[in-house]
Amino acid sequence: MADQQITWSSAYRELIGRNLGLLSDEQQEHLRSRKAAVFGMGGIGGTAFHILVRCGIGRFSIVDRDVFDASNMNRQVFADRNTIGRRKIDVAADWASSVNPEAQVEKFDRVGEDNIAEILKAADIAVMGIDSLAPCVIASRECREMGLPLVEAWALPYGNVRVFTAETPTLEEAYGLPTAGRPIADISDDEFRKLGLDVLLGLGKIEGVSAFYSPQAVQRIMEGHISSFAPMVWLSGVLLALETVKVLLNWGKPAVAPHFALYDPFQHRVPGRLEE
């Protein structure tokens, strides 16, 4: 596409003007015409969505079942005293319109086998920012079926991100889940909860991560009380958004699964993936 063929509204050009130089006009137009399905409008997913809107991506599906509460304010970019009690997807969509009035945002308040195709309809990429296992499995299976890349990150002490594509192991294979090949209907909520906890505890095998958690913190995690801290959460959210842009633009080298791209900001190092 030649530069003279690209026309943007004054509002869109105001939004993305400072992107140009790092991005070409053609790359920026490519982002404007793309659609990202973002799962989760909380700490990681909300941060990624916030950045992707500012990057100038033009269309989104966003998914979250929750409303904001006071406990979200320590880390979730859309949480404040004025948004407590409001649905996260409503707050996020309203904010997106305030930054880019042309942004098209479809809202969904749940993920199920009956609506995942609608969530991912016309999407170019899926962005996973939730830690509930059942919707992750449902979404990852549909992405694999549709040939869509899926980018995920976790709220670890380290910045982290990885990308699943048709050429990588599946999400279920990467986590060694016994759900692979089984119908979702045959996997109980209790089994998903147990496996989800196993996944969280398994992340503690990443070199150095366990040192950040006291025995009391591990016990709290096992009881369902997950600690999160804004610098850690936002660092992974930034990497999640950047990797999404890289994949959409075929820009640089992606952080492909099964390994995480990891960064330890406390020791300024790139650790190994798992402890031996």
Q: How far are the Cα atoms of 48, 113, 170 from residue 257, in angstroms, in the given order?
A: 19, 24, 8
> In the predicted model, is pLDDT for residue 166 greater than 90?
yes
Secondary structure string (H, E, C) spanning 138-198: HHHHHHHHHCCCEEECCCCCCEEEEEECCCCCCHHHHCCCCCCCCCHHHCCHHHHHHHHHH
- pLDDT at 223 (0 to 100): 82
* Residue 256 tokens, joined: 């492909």
For residues 217 and 9, the model is more confident at 9
For residues 152 and 259, the model is more confident at 152
Lowest mean pLDDT across 112-116, 213-217, 245-249: 213-217
Give tens-digit pLDDT for 124-140.
Answer: 999 999 989 999 999 99
> In the predicted model, is pLDDT for residue 1 greater than 70?
no
Count the Cβ atoms, other than its own, within 10 Å of residue 273. Answer: 14
Average pLDDT over residues 83-94: 98
Nearest to 88 by CA among 47, 55, 59, 119: 47
d(CA 18, CA 16): 6
* Residue 129 tokens, joined: 């920012």
Average pLDDT over residues 36-61: 98
> In the predicted model, is pLDDT for residue 4 greater than 90?
no
- pLDDT at 274 (0 to 100): 54
> In the predicted model, is pLDDT for residue 276 greater than 80?
no
- pLDDT at 273 (0 to 100): 61
Give tens-digit pLDDT for 194-244.
Answer: 999 899 889 988 888 988 888 888 888 778 777 889 999 999 999 999 999
CA torsion angle 221 222 224 230 (round to 10): 10
Q: Are the C-beta atoms of 244 and 48 separated by less than 8 Å?
A: yes
> In the predicted model, is pLDDT for residue 2 greater than 60?
no
For residues 200 and 30, the model is more confident at 30
Lowest mean pLDDT across 2-16, 56-70, 80-94: 2-16
Residues in the chain, overall count: 276
Domains of the chain by range and CATH? 30-178+228-263 (3.40.50.720)
Q: What is the overall mean pLDDT for the chain?
A: 94
- pLDDT at 117 (0 to 100): 98
> In the predicted model, is pLDDT for residue 9 greater than 50?
yes
Average pLDDT over residues 175-197: 95
Average pLDDT over residues 54-59: 98
pTM confidence score: 0.95
